[in-house]
Structure 1
Amino acid sequence: MLPLRGLLRQQARPLPLQYGRYIHYQSSRRPTPSAPVATTNCRKKSSESGISDAGEDETGHINTAPNESILFFDNIFPLRLQWLTRIPFLDARTIISAYRRVNSPHIALADPTGIVDRALPKNLPIKILSILPRLREGGAYVKFQHEAGISAQELEGTIKDYLKHKPIRPWFNPLRRVRTFLVKGKPWIEDLYRLPSQRVKVEFLPTTPEASAAELTQETLYSLFRRYGTILEMTSQPSDSKIAPRFAYVDFSRVRYATMAKNCMHGFILVEEHGGGKSGTLLKLSYEPKVRGKWIRDWLASHPRIVIPVVAALIAALSVSIFDPIRTWSIRLHITHGLHLEQNKYYQWVMQQLSRGYDYVRFGSKKSEDAGLDAIWEDRHSQMQQLKTWMSESADTFIVIQGPRGAGKKQLIDQALSHVPQKLVIDCKKIQDARGDSKTINAAANEVGYRPVFSWMNSFSSMIDLAAMGTIGTKTGFSETVENQLVKIWTNTTSALKGLALSHRDKKGRDAGMPDDEWLEAHPEHRPIVVIDNFLHKSNEAGANMVYDRIAEWAASLTTQNIAHVIFLTTDVSFSKSLSKALPDRVFRQIALGDCSPEVAKKVVIRHLDTDVVTREGEKKLTDSQLRTDLDELDGVIQVLGGRLTDLEFLARRIQAGETPGRAVKQIIEQSASEILKMYLLDGERTWTPQQAWVLIKELASNEELRYNEILLNDMFSKNGEQVLQNLEQAELISIASANGRPNKIKPGKPVYLSAFQYLTEDDVLRSRLDLSILSQLAAKEKSTIDACENELKLLSELPGMPAELKPRIRYLLDKALASQEKIVGYEAKQGQLKKVLTEKY
C-alpha cells in the first residue's frame, strides 16, 4: 500500500493529509501537485492505511462502513507498462516514483495523489480515507467518507460534472481525460499477473449456495455496462452448453472501458426487479484474453487450396532470393580453391615432409608417382599438346577422353592443364555410389561446393505433399524430385562459372561494349574448365540414366553458351549413345588412351625406382636401378604384365619393397586371378552367369583374341549374347575392339588378365567344377530339345492315317532327337571324368 496524502473537507477548501488518519482541518493551504509523497511496496501492507495491493488485511477486498463509498479513477497510469512489474527488484513503488520524477505541474500530474487532488472539486463534503493505486489496470481506488444526508450517487455526479468542465489529461495519454465512476459492487483487489483486455467475462452466480442465479439477457447486460464505454459485441453462452456457472462475454471498444467496468461492477448483486431473479444474481467479472489473429488462423485453415501453394511459393522465393546468391558464391570459392588449404603449395610441402617420417627434410623433392609419370608424358606429348590447343579454340569444346581404368586419364588432365587455376572436377562415381535421394543430392552438392544444401527438405516436402493430397486432393508442388534438385545445383554452378569467366573482362578495354555472350566466344582462354570424371560409372544401374542425362545436358549448355570447356573422362566405349542425346548435331573431340608400349612401361618402372635419389654434402648416391642386378627380368615381365599404368606403379612399389621383378609379377597375376574369381565367377546377382564368364576366360587363355561373332554362336551365348558381352566389357573382364563400326574382336580387359586367365585354367579343381556346370547346362538344353521333338512326334502320331508329306518331318525330328541324345551321352561321359577329378583333388 502506498502512503499517499488524503484530503479533508474544510469550509474553505480540502486539505491533503496522509490518508488513513482522521485529522481535523488545520490550514486552508492547498498542496502543490509536486509535493513529496511517501511510497512503499504495493505488495506489502501499509502501516498508515492498512490497505495493500491485496486489499485490507490481505483479504482481496476493501471494506466499507456506512456513509463510506469507493470511486475508481481511470487513466492514471499507462496500460502498456504492466510488464515492468515482472522485472526483479522493480515494484510499483519504484515505478510510481519514476512517474513522479517526470511530472510537470503545467501539463499533468503523474502520481495518484496529485491527480485525485485535482479531480475533486473545492468544498466537496467528503473525507478521503485511502487511495489504492491499480498499476496494471491504469487507475486507482479512492475510499471516502461522506455525510449521511448526501448520497454517493450525488457525489459521483458532481465529480463527473467537475471533470467534464475541467478535464485532466495525463502526460502519457494527452488525448483522453481522467474519468471516475462509483464502485457499485465489491471489487476483488488481487496482485496476480493478469493483464487487462477488451473482453470481459461476466459470470452469473447465486447470492447464496441454496439459491439459483438468473441468466441475464443482452439487453440487461447492455443497460449495466454501457455507461462505462462503447460496447462492440456481447456474446451469450450457447443454450445447450453444459458449462456452469452460466456466463456471457462483453467486448468493449477500448481496454480502459473494460477495466472501468470490471473494477466498478465486480461483485454487484442484481436484484429481482431489475432482472436478477427471485433471490438476486451476483456478477463476477474477469478479463478474457481475446485472440486477435483468430480470424486469420480460421481463414488460413479453411482455405488450404490457396494457402499451401502460396506458402510453397513464398518459401521458394525466399530460397532463391537469399540462399541462391550464397550458393553461387560458395561454388565460385570451391572452383578457385579459396578455402582449400590442401591446394596451397607451402601446406603441401609441409605435409609431404611430415608424411615421410625421415630425420631430415628434403627440399625440392617430388612424389615418386609424379616422377614415374614423366615417361608417360613424354610418350603422350602429342595428346597433351592437342588438348591444350583445343582449350584455346573458340569453337565448342566438348572433349571426351576414353580409356580403360588405370590408363592415366585423370593424370593426363592434371599434367596438361596444371596451369589453369579455374578448374572444376566432378566425380560421377561419388554421386552414383550414393544411396538414397538425400545422399545423392549431398554428393552432387559436395562435388561443386553447393552450400548450404537442405537435402532433408526433400523428404519433409514429400510428407507435406502427402498430407495435402489427403486434405485438398491435389499435390501442392512443394516437393521436388531428385532430378529437379540436381538441375538447381547445375544451374547455380552455371551462374558461378559464367561469373568467373566474365571476371577477367576489362571494363575499360576495347571489348568493354561487347555483350557477354560475344565476349565469352571471343575469349576462350578465360573460360573455366569442367572435368567430369568417371562418366557412365555403373550406368547399367536403375536411375543412373537420369543422373548422366542431366549432367550431359548441363555440359552441353556450358559449351554451346561458351561458358566453360567441358572434358569427359570415361571407361565406357559406348559413351556416344549418352552424349548424342545432349548434342545430337555436334561431333565430339576424342582422345583415346591405351596401354603404354613396352619401352615406355620399362622407363616408368625405372623412374619410380630412381625417384628417392638425393645428394647430401656432395656425396653421390647410386640409384636403385644401378644397384639392383635383377632388373634384367623387366623386359620379360613387362611383356606379361602389359602397359597398364596402375599395374606398372604396383610393380614398381613391390620391387622397391625388395622383391624381384619376376616374383612381383607373379604376385600381381595371382592377385588378379583372385579378383576375377570373386568378381566374375562366384555366384551372385549379376547380368551374366559364371558359366558364360568361364567360357570367355578359358577361350582367351588359349587364344589372345577371339572372334566376336564366333562367341555369339556358342551355346552358352545363344540367349542375349550381345547384351552379356557388353555387360562383361563394362565390368572390364574383356574389351571389345571394333572395325568399320562393328565389333569384331574380344580381348582381355587388362593385359595382365591374359596371364591371370591362364593361371585360373591351370587349376584342375576350378576348371573341372566350372566345366561340369557348363556340361550340365548343355545337357539340360539338349534334353529340352528331345522333349520338344517327342511332343511333336506324339502329336503327329495322333493324326488319322499317315500322310506321305509328313514323313520328311518325322525323319527330321527323329534325327534331331538322336543327335541330341548322342550329345547327352558325350556330355555325361565328360561329366564322369570331371567328377573323378573333383573327388580326387582338393
Structure 2
Amino acid sequence: MRPYTRISGQFTRCGTSLLRNEAGFNFARLGRRWNSNGQVAGDKVAESIEREGTLFVDSIFPIRLGTWDIRHYLSAYNRPEVINALKETLSKVKTSGFKVESVEPRVKDGGAFVKFKYTQLTQPADGEQPLDPPALEAEIKRQVKELGGIKSWLGDNKGDVWLVRGRPWKEDMRRYASNDMKVYFEGPDIYQETLYDILRHYGQVSNISNPVPVPAGNLRYSTIQFSTLRAATRAHNCVHGFTLVDEPAIPGLKGDNKPTRLATVYERKVKTQAIWDWLTSHPRIVVPVMVFLLGSLSYLIFDPIRSFMVQAKVVGWLDYHEFRIVKWIRRNTIDRFSFFGKKSSRQERSGGSGNESIWKDRKDAENTLRGYLSDLPSTIAFVHGPQGSGKSSMLTRALKNADRHVLVIDCELLNKGKSDADVINGLAAQTGYWPVFTWFNNFTNLIDLASVGLIGQKTGLSSSVETQLKEVLEVVGNALKGVSTRYREFERGKEIKKDFQEQTEAHLKEALAKIQLGTYHDGRVDAVAGTGVTSELGIGDEKMTEKDEDKPRKPPPAVENAVIATQERVINAKEAIKEKLEEDPEPQESFDDTSIPKKEGWAGSAVHTVQGAVQGIVKEGKKEAEKLIPGQWKGAKEETEGPRPVPTYSERTEIDEEIRALPVVVIKNYATKTKFTDELVVVLADWAAGLADGGIAHVVVMSDNRDNGRKLEKALPAKPLTSIAIADADSSTALSFVQDRLAQYGVQSNLTRQQKIQIDRLGGRSSDLEALCHKVKNGMPVEMAVEDIITRGVAELRKNAFGEEEEEAKSMRWSPQQVFFILKALSKSTELPYYDVLLDFPFKGDEAALRSMEHAELISITTSDGRPSTIRPGRPVYRYVFERLVNDEIFRSVQDIALNDKAIASAESTIRACEDELLKLEKIRPLDSGILASGASRQRADFLLKKMYEAETKLEKLEAANAVLKKGLKKP
C-alpha cells in the first residue's frame, strides 16, 4: 500500500498513521508529529490537546430500500429507546478522555452519527505512545464489544462503530442505499489501488471500475461494487468529503501534488426511466404481453363478477321488490289504501273473460309452447305472428304457473341505440352484465392507430360490435349454467330441511304420545336396580311396550261405530228370533228375515238358531269394521291435505327436476329492422342455438315475421324449429273480445248491428281492438273510434310507405310506384297471387322489395307448402286504409302519373329495342331469301313488329291517361 498524508488540509503519500487537526485527520511519517500549527514539537514534556471527531454507528436501524419499505415505519416505535441505549453504551467507553457530545440518527442508512471529544497527546512523556485515529477506532470497538455491543431496533446487539474520515453529507433526498456506489473525483483521478485501500476497511469490495470518459465540465468517477449493503452504507457515510493527494503509481515520477476530494453517491440499480425505456423500445414484445395480461385480468377478476350479476338478474337476488321487509312494508302501508292499484269489482267479476275469449284460437299455440317447455331443450321455439296479435300475452300465460327463471332480451330496445356503445350497454343492462367498459374499445382503437405507426401492424386489442356482443353473451350463457346448478342445490337443500323438520315433528309427537301413555323410555333416566358397583340398569322395571300402558288404548272411531252397530243388530236379531220362537218353536225352511243374515242349511233348536244368527252378524261386523278403518283414514287424509300439492323434490323424477331447473330465455322483437340488424340477429341466433343445443336453457324467440326464422334455421341446421304461429282472431272472437273488454271498463256493451259492422272492419288484430276499447271507454262512439283508427292508419301509411322527405323516400328498399301498385290492387281485392305480382310490372322479379314491405308490416305474405302463396294487407284494417288512400283523387292522380311514366319509359325502351333488332334483321334478310330460305328472319321480324305494336298501343293509352290525370290536377 502506497503511503499518503494530509498537511494543512491536504494529503501526501507518507508511511505512518492518520492524525486529525481542526480540518481532519493527518498522516505523519517516521514518527514526526504535527501540531495544530503544523510545527514539530522538539521537547519530551507530556502535552495534550482536546480533539473532536465523528463516529458512524451502523446496523441499529433497518436500511431503507425505498418509499415502500415498511420497516422504516416499524422501527420508529422504539427509535428513542435505541438512541438512549446507544448513548448509555458509549458513555461507558474509557479511552483518551472519550466523551459523547451528541447523537444524530441517520435512519435512512440504518445508523447514527455520534459526535465526540477526546484527548490527544501532542508531546507524550517517556514511554507513552499517542493513539492515532485507527488505533482510537479499534480501541472504541473493543470496549463496545466488551460492553455487550450496541442494541439495534430488533433487540439484538449487532451495532458497530466506524470513524468518519470525511465530511458526511446528511441529506434527506430519496436516494436510497445500494451495493453499487459512485465515487466522483473533484480533482485528479485516484488509482484503483488507493480506492481499494481506503474502502476495503468497510467491507468486501467486489469490483472497482476505471474512471469513465465524461463530457467536458463533468466530474469523472469510478463505480465501486460492494458485496453487502451494510459495507456500502459505511463507506458512503465515512468517506464522503475525504480529500487526499495521490502519488504517481510509478516510483521516481514527479506528481502534480493537487488534492482530490472524494464524493460518494449511491447508484440506483434500476434507473427511473429504465423500465419505461425498455418497454417503449420493445413494442413487439410488450404489446402482446399487455394484451395477454388484460385478457387474463378480465377473465380472472371481472368475468366471475359479471357471471354473478347475471345470475342475480335472472334469479332476482338484488330485486328489492322481492325483499321480505319491502313486501311487509308495502302490505302494511300502500296496499291498505284502496286507491293504490285496486281493481274494479266489475273487472274482478269478469276475471279477464275477454282474454279468455280471444284466447280460444290460440289454445293450440299455448299447448305447443307448454309442451316445449315441459321437455328437455333440443331446439328453439319460434313464435311468429303479426304485431299486436297477442304473442306476449300467450307467452305470459304459458309461463305463469311454470315457476321458472326467465331472462328477457328485447331487440327493439337494442336497435334504438345510436352507437355501438349504446347497443352493448343496452344488452348488458337487459342481461345484468356488469361491470361493462364500453369506453375501453375507443381506447384500444387509439392504441391500434399508435401501434400501426410503431410496429407497422395493429395490436388486435380493439374489437368489433359483433365480437363484443359475443363476449357478453358468452358470459351470460355461463351464468345460466350456474342458475340451473344453484336451483338444484337450493331445491335439494329445501327438501332435506323439510324432511328433517317432518322427522323431528313426528318424533316429538311419538314421544308425547308415549309420555301420555306412560311408555316413554329415556336411557338417561333409566331405573337403577341395586346399589354401589353392583348396580345395573333396571330395564325390566320400566314400561316399554303397549302392553305396559297405564290404561288400554282407545280404539279408532270407525271400530267403535262398527262394534256398536254389531251389538245393536245382535240385540235386534235376538228379539226377532224370540218372537218367531214364540209363534213357532221349530223354525221352518221358509223362515226369512232380511234384517238377519241367513245362513244356508241352518235349522234346529232355538239355541242353535240364536248362535248361528249371532255368529253371522259378528262376522259381518268385523268385515265392515276392517273396511271402515282404511276408508276412514283415507277420507281423513284427503280432508287434511286439501288440494293436491306440488310434487316434492323426492317425488319428482330426475328429468322433471332437470327441466324445472333450466331457465327460459325469451328474445322479443327478433330481427327488427335497424342498422344493427344483421350483426345483432346473427349473434343472437348463434347464441340461442348454442343454449338450446347444449341443453342450457329453453329459448323462445318471438318475431313479427315468419321469414326471420330462416336465420335461426341457419344457426341450428341439424334440427327443425318448434314453429308456433299466431294469427289474428276471427270476427266472432274479435266481437266477443270487444264486448268483454267494454264490460270490464263499465261501458254498456249492447252493440247495434251497424256498430258490429264497424268493429268487423278492424279485423282480429288485438292492438287495434284494444285501441277501439280505450277510445270507447273515453266517451267516443264506436263509429267515430273506428273512423279515427282508419284515419290514423292513413297518416302512418303515407309516412311509412312513401316517406315524408326525399331522403327518407330514397332510403326505402322499394319505389313509390311499387308500393302504390300493391295498395291499389289490395284496395280492390282481399289478397293477390304472390308470383303474379312478382313477375309483372313494376316489380319484374324484384323479390327484395316485397320482402322489405313485409318487414315494414305494409303487407303480409302467406305460405303454402313452404312457398309464398298470397299477398294480404299487413293489418286487417289496412284494407280500408288502402281504400281511403286510393280514393284520394289528388294523391291517386299523382301516383298514377308516376306509375304511368315508369310504364311509358318501359314501353319506349321496348320499342327502341325492337327497332334496333329490326335494323339488324334488314341486313341479314338477303341471306335468308331464295328457294332454300327458312324464313326465320321474317318470323322474327313479325314477332318484333307485333311486340312493338303492343308497346306502342300501351304507350298511347298511358299518354292519354296521363293527359286526363293532369287535367284533373288543375282543378282546385
TM-score (norm. length: structure 2): 0.67
Tell me, yes or no, if structure 1 residue 765 matches structure 2 residue 890: yes
Task: Determine if contact 1:642/1:752 at 8 Å carries over to the other structure.
Answer: yes
Residue of 390, 393, 409 corresponding to 1:411: 393
Q: CA deviation at 1:294?
A: 8.1
Q: State how far apart, in whole Å, the 2-side matches of 1:566 and 1:653 are.
A: 34
1:228 alignment counterpart: 202
* Cα deviation 1:143-165 (Å, max 9, x = unaligned): 32422243434433444565677
Tell me, yes or no, if structure 1 residue 115 matches structure 2 residue 115: no
Q: CA deviation at 1:232?
A: 4.3
Change (3 A) 1:608 1:379: same
Tell me, yes or no, if structure 1 residue 644 matches structure 2 residue 765: yes
Q: CA deviation at 1:487?
A: 4.3
1:380 alignment counterpart: 362
Q: CA deviation at 1:693?
A: 0.5
Change (3 A) 1:520 1:217: farther
For structure 2, the 5+ residue unaligned runs are 1-47, 124-129, 250-254, 500-648, 804-808, 930-935
Q: What code does the residue aligned with 1:144 have? A: K
1:362 alignment counterpart: 342
Asked which structure has the greater RCO (Cα within 8 Å, sep 6+), the reply is: 2
Task: Determine if contact 1:69/1:152 at 8 Å carries over to the other structure.
Answer: no
Q: Residues 618-657 of structure 1 correspond to what in structure 2 (within 5 A)?
A: 623-625=746-748, 632-657=753-778
Residue of 681, 697, 712 corresponding to 2:823: 697
Task: Determine if contact 1:167/1:177 at 8 Å carries over to the other structure.
Answer: no
Tell me, yes or no, if structure 1 residue 548 matches structure 2 residue 681: yes
Q: CA deviation at 1:190?
A: 5.2
Q: State how far apart, in whole Å, the 1-side matches of 2:489 and 2:209 are.
A: 69
2:779 alignment counterpart: 658
Q: Which moved more, 1:750-759 or 1:520-529?
A: 520-529
* Cα deviation 1:775-831 (Å, max 9, x = unaligned): 222222223333334444555667796754645445544554454344333322222
Tell me, what secondary structure is at the counterpart of 1:446?
A: helix
Q: State how far apart, in whole Å, the 2-side matches of 1:836 and 1:237 are.
A: 107
1:744 alignment counterpart: 869
Q: Which moved more, 1:823-832 or 1:75-84?
A: 75-84
* Cα deviation 1:344-390 (Å, max 9, x = unaligned): 89979979x999x9968736766999674343235534443443344
* Cα deviation 1:32-58 (Å, max 9, x = unaligned): xxxxxxxxxxxxxxxxxxxxxxxxxxx
Change (3 A) 1:117 1:129: closer
Task: Determine if contact 2:365/2:726 at 8 Å carries over to the other structure.
Answer: no
1:143 alignment counterpart: 116
Q: Residues 534-545 of structure 1 correspond to what in structure 2 (within 5 A)?
A: 534-538=669-673, 544-545=677-678
Q: What code does the residue aligned with 2:837 have? A: I
The structure with the larger Rg is 2
Tell me, what secondary structure is at the counterpart of 1:180?
A: strand
2:543 alignment counterpart: none
Q: CA deviation at 1:272?
A: 4.7
2:529 alignment counterpart: none
Q: What code does the residue aligned with 1:228 have? A: Y
Tell me, what secondary structure is at the counterpart of 1:716?
A: coil
1:202 alignment counterpart: 183
Tell me, what secondary structure is at the counterpart of 1:840?
A: coil
Q: State how far apart, in whole Å, the 1-side matches of 2:722 and 2:299 are.
A: 37
Q: What code does the residue aligned with 2:203 have? A: G
1:482 alignment counterpart: 468
Tell me, yes or no, if structure 1 residue 184 matches structure 2 residue 142: no
RMSD between aligned residues? 4.2
1:427 alignment counterpart: 410
Change (3 A) 1:707 1:378: closer
Tell me, what secondary structure is at the counterpart of 1:148?
A: strand
Q: Residues 520-531 of structure 1 correspond to what in structure 2 (within 5 A)?
A: 520=655, 523-531=658-666
Tell me, what secondary structure is at the counterpart of 1:704?
A: coil
Task: Determine if contact 1:72/1:260 at 8 Å carries over to the other structure.
Answer: no
Change (3 A) 1:824 1:363: closer
Aligned length: 732
Residue of 316, 322, 326 corresponding to 2:305: 326
Task: Determine if contact 2:735/2:760 at 8 Å carries over to the other structure.
Answer: no
Q: State how far apart, in whole Å, the 1-side matches of 2:801 and 2:309 are.
A: 43
Tell me, what secondary structure is at the counterpart of 2:734?
A: helix
Q: CA deviation at 1:258?
A: 3.1
Q: What code does the residue aligned with 2:714 have? A: K
1:708 alignment counterpart: 834
Residue of 111, 136, 148 corresponding to 1:155: 136
Q: CA deviation at 1:522?
A: 6.9
Residue of 446, 465, 485 corresponding to 1:499: 485
Q: Residues 25-174 of structure 1 correspond to what in structure 2 (within 5 A)?
A: 68-75=51-58, 77-80=60-63, 97-99=80-82, 110-118=84-92, 120=93, 122=94, 124-128=95-99, 130-136=101-107, 137=109, 138-145=111-118, 146-149=120-123, 150=130, 151-160=132-141, 168-172=149-153
Task: Determine if contact 1:705/1:745 at 8 Å carries over to the other structure.
Answer: yes
Residue of 820, 833, 841 corresponding to 2:964: 833
Q: What code does the residue aligned with 1:666 have? A: E
Q: CA deviation at 1:298?
A: 7.0
Tell me, what secondary structure is at the counterpart of 1:147?
A: strand
1:265 alignment counterpart: 239
Residue of 697, 701, 714 corresponding to 1:581: 714
Q: CA deviation at 1:644?
A: 0.3
Task: Determine if contact 2:85/2:150 at 8 Å carries over to the other structure.
Answer: no
Q: State how far apart, in whole Å, the 1-side matches of 2:101 and 2:940 are.
A: 130
Q: CA deviation at 1:675?
A: 0.8
Change (3 A) 1:739 1:259: closer
Q: Residues 756-795 of structure 1 correspond to what in structure 2 (within 5 A)?
A: 756-793=881-918
* Cα deviation 1:695-747 (Å, max 9, x = unaligned): 000111111111212212322111x4222112211211111122233222111
Q: State how far apart, in whole Å, the 2-side matches of 1:398 and 1:700 are.
A: 35
Q: CA deviation at 1:653?
A: 0.7
Q: State how far apart, in whole Å, the 2-side matches of 1:395 and 1:82 are.
A: 63
Q: State how far apart, in whole Å, the 2-side matches of 1:325 and 1:193 are.
A: 41
1:600 alignment counterpart: 733
2:36 alignment counterpart: none
Tell me, what secondary structure is at the counterpart of 1:610?
A: helix
Q: Share of identical aligned residues, percent? A: 30
* Cα deviation 1:391-437 (Å, max 9, x = unaligned): 33457463222210100101111123212332222222233443443
Q: State how far apart, in whole Å, the 2-side matches of 1:639 and 1:93 are.
A: 93
Change (3 A) 1:292 1:649: same
Task: Determine if contact 1:270/1:282 at 8 Å carries over to the other structure.
Answer: yes
Q: CA deviation at 1:833?
A: 2.2
Q: State how far apart, in whole Å, the 1-side matches of 2:211 and 2:413 are.
A: 67
Q: CA deviation at 1:503?
A: 3.5
Q: State how far apart, in whole Å, the 1-side matches of 2:351 and 2:889 are.
A: 39
Q: What code does the residue aligned with 2:149 have? A: I
Q: CA deviation at 1:571?
A: 1.5
Tell me, what secondary structure is at the counterpart of 2:387?
A: coil
1:37 alignment counterpart: none
* Cα deviation 1:49-77 (Å, max 9, x = unaligned): xxxxxxxxxxxxxxxx9863423232264
Task: Determine if contact 2:682/2:711 at 8 Å carries over to the other structure.
Answer: yes
TM-score (norm. length: structure 1): 0.76
Q: State how far apart, in whole Å, the 1-side matches of 2:207 and 2:655 are.
A: 70
